[in-house]
A and B are shown apart, each in its own frame.
Chain A
Amino acid sequence: DAGITQSPRHKVTETGTPVTLRCHQTENHRYMYWYRQDPGHGLRLIHYSYGVKDTDKGEVSDGYSVSRSKTEDFLLTLESATSSQTSVYFCAISGTGLGNTIYFGEGSWLTVV
């Protein structure tokens, strides 16, 4: 199994509060991704990183920011959580971008009330 740890695994938060999800990898992979999974929408890319301090937006980036100050950590921040951001969030890693196998973390279940 790829060494990917997401935290927290489960969180309930109130509307308007900031939330940070952490993805930690031990594989020294260059590429890291944040996806959200929702019924009827499948998996959608939020943001990705192609190196330390190198990030870019995905298809559903509004309301989210990311940071990558170290190779092993990729943080996803919901600046002001809304109910529409209730979802399951998956981190993924890949050694050479999408031209190689991509591995997913176990997911973080976030509920915004």
Chain B
Amino acid sequence: GIQVEQSPPDLILQEGANSTLRCNFSDSVNNLQWFHQNPWGQLINLFYIPSGTKQNGRLSATTVATERYSLLYISSSQTTDSGVYFCANAAGNKLTFGGGTRVLVKP
């Protein structure tokens, strides 16, 4: 099946810093989505982004389907950005998740 790799696995940021998270796929990118799991375990959908670029406040995402990767940008990070960020790709009726990037934003 499709392999989804996220990097880096862990990230420590000082509040206010910018960062980029990456998601690589072993096969075609379809219906790619980014999620944030907060420290309380809640999974929030950030972006549905099969291709192109989207922005939502301080977050933006870019998917280059032809090169099988997606990037999530966090700008001016805040402590509430802490948690785990997952990308996921759909093949058929299966959504395959990457292993996640654990982000800690320090005040």
Contact = CB atoms under 8 A, between A and B. Distances in A.
B57 interface: no
Residue of A42, A56, A106 with most chain B CB atoms under a 10 A cut-off: A42
A67 B15 CA distance: 46
Interface residues of A, number: 21
A104 B43 contact: yes
Contacts, number: 47
Interface residues of B, number: 20
Contacts of A106: 41-42
Nearest to B41: A107
Contact of B97 (A43, A50, A97, A107): A43
Contacts of B41: 88, 106-107
A3 interface: no
B83 to A, nearest CB: 13
Interface string A23-47: 0000000000100000000110100
B74 interface: no
A15 to B, nearest CB: 24
B45 interface: yes
A100 B86 CA distance: 16
Interface string B24-45: 0000001101010000011111
Interface of A: 33, 42-43, 45, 48, 50, 56, 58-59, 88, 90, 97-104, 106-107
Interface of B: 30-31, 33, 35, 41-45, 48, 86, 88, 90, 93-95, 97-100
